[in-house]
Structure 1
Amino acid sequence: MPMRRRWRIATAAAVLALAAAPPVSAQPTTDAADAPVPPTRSQLDSQLMQQLLIGEIEARRGQADAAVQLMLDAARRTRDEGLFRRAVEIALQARSGERALLAVAAWRRTLPGSLDALRTQLQIAAALNRSEAIEEPLRALLGQTPEGERSALIAQLPRLLQRMPDRRRSAQVLGAVLEPYEARPLTRAAARVAVGRAWAMAGDLDAALARARAAQEADPKAPGAALLALELMPQRAAAEEVVQAHLGTDGAEPAVRMAYARALMNAQRLADAVVQLEQATRERPEAAPPLLALGALQLEMRQPQAAMTTLGRYLTLLDARPATGATGADEGPEPDEGAAQGRTQAWLMLAQGAEQLGQYAAAEDWLARVDDPARALEVQSRRASLLARQGRLDDARALLRQAPEREGGDARLKLLAEAALLREARLWGDAFEVLGSAVQRFPDDPDLLYEQAMMAEKMGRTDEMERLLRQVILLKPDNAHAHNALGYALADRGQRLPEARELVQRALDLAPGDPFIIDSLGWIEFRLGNLAEALRLLRQAYASRPDVEIGAHLGEVLWALGRRDEARRVWAESKGRDAANDVLRETLARLKVEL
């Protein structure tokens, strides 16, 4: 008996479901208060208990066949899904997918209406790449799911089948199974999106885009097609039309607009992202997150006054919200964690905006509000930047070096921050040396090597710059920035222009739509004498990202085409954003233009 008791404890997970079976109702008596408590009956009789214990013992001994058969026999007699599930688990733990499929088949024969059995069968068949074993349970699962829940299930199917090694076959099977549901109004859009997502997982982005378009046509207001198109946008620019079509409908899903804005930001299309975020704030003036993102973009575009206004609105919204969380007798409500993080981020950005405006005392006031230990290094970096802007570069560097290193990557971040201070102070050589020390401590770090290459260019050490950038490309062949920087540097010196174009085109393939890369391509066309194409590309880049250097290039092409007034307007806009920009100043000086 003691041994049996120990096994009962060890196998509690296998028998708890049965032990907790509901009691059989007792007949009521005339006096319920005095009635004896009726005995409960359980399906777990002594014989069944013995069988389950033996099954678990066999499983522990590695006798999976015997263990599975014992569990299946008990499951059939009790019709208990937990025991069927345990039989499948034992088979999978023994790495026997075929035995697991047989166990699921027994489960389905005993309980034909079990959706759990169908899902389990699909997952196992997908993991085994058994496409012939997927189609039937998939059809059965769809058929047994209530109509009102079917679209939600269809949306989950690509993820359910993603474990299939042959993704193309998975997409083909899913397309065949969902074909009838594409003909039904309630499931048409969901089915097309699901098949499109399966093709995207298989790498056939054109097929995925075709399905997204078809789904959007079936139900323009449903967000699924737009969300799929957003995933395709980095590699298929035409997918953006699907997103825009959804956002053009009444009552478009706000989450789609925010996701679209994020995609535009990732593509460095900041001006387009601003348009979407401004629209989001108009549609939902009570929503705070769009304001935080909009403020960040305005800072990035060097519009500090607009950013501070936007961030002020964000904080006002947070202050007007009722705080959430538990309350105690002696303390107020605990702030929502997301709101607290957003507030901290807003304070840091307000400090950055004040710094850009030269309001250093105000910037320090905003920084003083941040008490999050996780942001301590960021606060110190901003304080160091304030000191450097006030001519106290040595104090700024000392402050950074004294900052505690709480996380593993903090030492690297401190070196990058120090190099940034020196870069802002135009001490290219010192920045190069700091980055060189960083590379010694963190060898083969692509970001550090890239930054060092940029300093080498500033110092006129073009051979060193090229060596470092090629090292970055060797370490990280998909680094679009390194390809672009090397191609642009060659073009800017008028050297090896065909190679420069090839490098920049490779960068654009890696990061489609990136305005800085499009700017480089436009500059190469200008160097090659293709002024019309250069103008087209640079207009496109400047419209997406009105950056000072892009503006300098666009202005020069306009100047070369004789459009002097327009060139002056673009240069004036750029000068208003950053009058000290080296590229802009050099361009104006070389062309003898005064603004």
Structure 2
Amino acid sequence: MQRFSWTHQTLKWVFMVSSMLFGTVVCAESTPASTAVATFSSPISYQVYNILAAEIYVRQANPGQAALHYIAVAQQAKDASLAQRAAELATMADDAQLVSRALELWAEIDPNSLEARQYRALSHVQAGRYEAAVKDFVVIRDQMKKKDGGGFELMVSLLEIQRDAQHAYGTLKHYVDTVDQSAPAQLALAEMANGSDHFDEAISAAQVAKKSGTKPQKEQASRLIAEALMGLKQPNKALDEFGPVAHASKDWDLKLSYGRMLILTDRRSEATPLYQQLYAKQPENVDILYTLGLLHLEQKQFNVAEPLIKKLQEVPERANDASYFLGQIHEGQKRTKDAITAYKQAARGTFAMESARRLTALLFATEGLAPARAWIHEYLPTVSNEVHKARLLVMEGKLLHEQKQYAEAEKVFAQALTVNPLDADALYNRALSTERLGRFADAEKDLRDVMSLQPDNASVLNALGYMLMTNTERYTEAESLIRKAIVLAPDDAPVMDSMGWILFRTGKAEEAEAWLRKAYEHLPDPEIAGHLVEVLLARGKADDAKRLLKDTLAKFPDDPLLTKLKDKLVGL
């Protein structure tokens, strides 16, 4: 709303009385409407009293009482600016009834005020009074149309900024149903219907516009129908509707909308040539440049993606993000040193943690554990986010665990939990390390703590079930946990492996074989292969066991479990 301003005469009286009264405590009545004008020596004294009382309530952070005083004086003085001030304060008080009362008074005093009509219309919208809102909007539309021809557009823009999308949509629908069935109105209704998830209504409105509108309006109608079909989970129909229109159109914004839709439906190979056209037309459009670079990167077209991403690096607000993608490009090109340099730059941006993870893995793979740990400790002091600090320490702990330095790994995971006590990843990985150290009870406690944080985490359920099976004879409890995990992750190979192994441990070798074969089909892992070999041997299928062992050893010649099984099979 505009800033409130008093009339000259009223302001003169306020200043005069303020000079006499301020410095002492002035008390205002809380119910000004009940105060009779006759108790004051003149209308001006009544006005001054209420204005001063209202402003004192404002200072006391009581806008509702202040609004009541302004309503009282506005009624007596027939002053629109006082009614406007009342409406402002009622809005601050978040009192819908008081807002409505002030706005009605404002419109009554100044029926030609567009501003009063606007705020009253919006008040009706918020209360769901669609018919009353439309009546005000029609007056606003007609008056604005005489001024600059933009009355309908103003109405739509006012509805678009409303907090309650459903009420905004309901108002516009009432307007279209009762006042205006033109193509522009139908398009506006379809746009708002999509925004409030009324997809069938959006299609109906857009189809009306598609029949009666101009060529550009028909194109927009096709876009809105496609967006509604996307909302209804019918992507193929959406693209069939929109594709021919977008390709034939000369509207580049329309083509861009279609390109985004192709990406959303994972049809990136079709989106790429379209974005190349868009980039040729708008080479300075950063969003198009960004998307085109990622499209080439995702399709592993590294040499094409690289110059685009380097250009993106020149945009200050996108430089760090571009460095992250450049790191991925260099990884794909086997340019490890360049990738490390790029990830170090990206570690200061939006993709900081992902960059840190990739950088740590590259350093570990190419230079070893010490340089990877050194970088983490160099980077840690620059990180202010406690969750991110904990994640970095978990990265370090995983590297130590991988190198079988379980005691040192445990210390690092404990440090991560000092930073963030609810870090489930740190608890989970510490459990894996403490189990390897032979401290099963500590490991079980950590896993149960993770389960309390993430009761539907299949990996944690599986880990605890497997741990119980291999470290205790609590097979019934272990099987229960593994069965819960298999329900949550039916295609997860490690969970299937655990299911097969617990069935074997409990004397159900035939069922165990079926589960382990299924697990091995999903993931030809040496541990799964080892379990399957043992089950095959137990079932008298020595030839199958030898064949599987030989094939797996060819891929994993140094695996200790497979080596033990090889020795076991020598005499068979």
Residue 57 of structure 2 corresponds to residue 67 of structure 1: no
Asked whether the equivalents of residues 312 and 322 of structure 2 are also in contact (C-alpha less than 8 Å), the reply is: no
Q: Does 1:396 align with 2:396?
A: no
| CA shift in 2, pair 1:405/1:100, >3 Å | same
Higher relative contact order (CA 8 A, sep 6+): 1
Name the counterpart of 1:249.
245
Q: What letter corresponds to residue 46 of structure 1 in structure 2? A: K
Whether the 8 Å contact between 1:155 and 1:194 is mirrored in structure 2 is no
- Kindly provide the amino acid, as one letter, of the partner of residue 156 in structure 2: I
> How do residues 73-472 of structure 1 correspond to structure 2 at under 5 angstroms?
73=76, 76-77=78-79, 79-80=80-81, 83-94=82-93, 96-125=95-124, 130-131=127-128, 133-142=129-138, 144-145=140-141, 146=145, 148-150=150-152, 153-154=155-156, 157=159, 159-160=161-162, 162=164, 175-180=173-178, 183-198=181-196, 200=197, 208-218=198-208, 219=210, 220-222=219-221, 223-224=223-224, 232=231, 236-238=232-234, 241-242=237-238, 245-250=241-246, 251=249, 253-254=254-255, 256-257=257-258, 259-260=260-261, 263=264, 272=266, 274-275=268-269, 277-285=271-279, 286=283, 287-293=285-291, 295-296=293-294, 306-307=301-302, 309-316=304-311, 339-366=315-342, 383-403=359-379, 404-409=381-386, 410-419=388-397, 421=399, 434-435=412-413, 437-445=415-423
Contact 1:350-1:366 within 8 A present in 2 as well: yes
After superposition, the C-alpha distances for 1:513-542 in whole angstroms (9 at most, x for unaligned) are xxxxxx669x99xx99xxxxxxxxxxxxxx
Displacement of 1:108 in angstroms is 1.8
Higher Rg of the two aligned structures = 2
Give the total of aligned pairs.
442
Partners in 1 of 2:462 and 2:261 — Cα distance?
A: 29
User: What is the root-mean-square deviation of aligned Cα atoms in Å?
Assistant: 5.7
Q: Which moved more, 1:458-467 or 1:367-376?
A: 458-467
Greater CA drift, 484-493 or 446-455: 484-493
Distance 1:357 1:293, change over 3 A: same
Distance 1:280 1:123, change over 3 A: same
SS in 1 for 2:200: helix
Rate the CA distance shift 1:261–1:289 in 2: closer, same or farther, 3 A. farther
Contiguous gaps of at least 5 residues in structure 2 = 17-43, 58-64, 211-218, 470-477, 501-520, 526-554, 557-561, 563-572
The answer for the alignment partner of 1:58 in structure 2 is 53
* 1:307-330 superposed Cα distances (whole Å, 9 cap, x missing partner): 3531322434776xxxxxxxxxxx
Q: CA separation of 1:504/1:274 partners in 2, compared to 1, >3 Å: closer, same or farther?
A: same
Shift of 1:448: 5.1
Letter in 2 for 1:217: Q
2: CA distance, partners of 1:378 / 1:426: 24
Q: 1:362 to 1:373 in 2, by over 3 A?
A: closer
Q: Which amino acid aligns with 2:12?
A: S
Distance 2:413 2:267 in 1: 33
Displacement of 1:137 in angstroms is 2.1
Query: Contact 1:429/1:459 (CA < 8 Å) preserved in 2?
Result: yes
Report percent identity of matched pairs: 18
Whole-angstrom distance in 2 between the partners of 1:290 and 1:551: 39
CA contact (8 A) 1:348 1:367 kept: yes
| Distance of aligned partners of 1:438 and 1:490 in 2 relative to their CA distance in 1, 3 Å threshold | closer
User: In structure 2, what is the Cα distance between the partners aligned to 1:551 and 1:474?
Assistant: 29
What is the TM-score normalised by the length of structure 1?
0.56
Q: How far off its partner does 1:423 sit? A: 7.7
- 1:184-243 Cα shifts (integer Å, max 9, x gaps): 222112213324544x3xxxxxxx23123334534452555555666x4xxx52367436
CA displacement, residues 347-406 of structure 1 (integer Å, 9 cap, x when unaligned)? 232233324544223334545767968988877665544321213212211221232234
Greater helix share, structure number:
2
- For structure 1, which segment, 430-439 or 245-254, has the greater mean C-alpha deviation from structure 2 after superposition? 430-439
Q: Using a 3 Å threshold, how does the CA distance of structure 1 residues 176 and 436 change in structure 2: closer, same or farther?
A: farther
Cα 1:171/1:376, change in 2 over 3 Å: closer
Report the secondary structure of 2:382's partner residue. Answer: coil
Q: Is 1:46–2:12 an aligned residue pair?
A: yes
8 A contact 1:274–1:294 mirrored in 2? no
**Conservation of the 8 A alpha-carbon contact between 2:313 and 2:323:** no
Q: Distance in 2 between matches of 1:466 and 1:243?
A: 51
Secondary structure of 2:245's counterpart equals coil
Query: Which position in structure 1 is the counterpart of 2:488?
Result: 503
Q: Provide the residue aligned with 1:561 in structure 2.
A: none
